[in-house]
Amino acid sequence: MHQPRLSPLFYALLLVLFTAQCAKPRTELVVTVRTDLPWGPGQELQALTLTVRRGGPTGVVRFGQTSALGRGQGWQLPLAFGLSPADDTDLTPLWIEAFGCAAPDASACTADRAVVVQRALVTYRPDQIAYADLWLTRACAGVTCGAASRCAPTTGLCEPAALADREVR
């Protein structure tokens, strides 16, 4: 079984966040995407689509990217990225989706073709750096949940995506 290692980019991001935290209180959400499934060329997960929207599943797209997974050719897992509000007063909840796909063609990595899907509706914590984890787990592989739901990483059962906000650290 493939044991994921934290990438140097992850450590660099944490260093920047901790350094910035010393200067003044900051409102930011750091999202990590991890998996216990084998990933990379020829593995169970070969592409990843990440989308961040404001407010909910149909909100304005704030970030969206699809990439192949693999060392030297695409994203590596675990992946971490930081999101700051557009301004200090706009703390609109974020709808975050991650689709892990078996095909190496990144453009074909959509919700209906995904091996595993994870969703979260999370809110910023004013003047805090909060951490939200998206787990693409074996328990959720092949589980289809409604558009406003997510697969609970520990049970593999569908639940409201808003429950992910309770897990933000």
pLDDT digits (tens, 9 = 90+) for 48-87: 999 999 988 899 898 889 999 987 767 899 999 999 887 6
pTM for the whole structure? 0.80
Which amino acid does the sequence have at 99?
Answer: F
User: How many CA atoms lie within 13 Å of 166's alpha carbon, on the beta-carbon side?
Assistant: 6
From start to end of 36-165, where are the E strands? 47-54, 61-68, 79-83, 94-101, 114-122, 129-136, 149-151, 158-160
Select from 116, 98, 120, 118 the least CA-distant residue to 164.
120
With CA atoms as reference, report the closest residue to 49 among 38, 63, 37.
Answer: 63
Pair of tokens at residue 89 = 């007063």
Q: Give the CA diameter of the chain.
A: 45
Which one has a higher pLDDT value, 24 or 163? 163
| Residues 119, 132 contacting (CB under 8 angstroms) | no
Q: Compute the distance between CA of residue 19 and CA of residue 25 in angstroms, rounded to an integer.
A: 11
For residue range 94-125, what is the model confidence (pLDDT) as tens digits?
A: 999 999 999 988 788 988 899 999 999 999 99
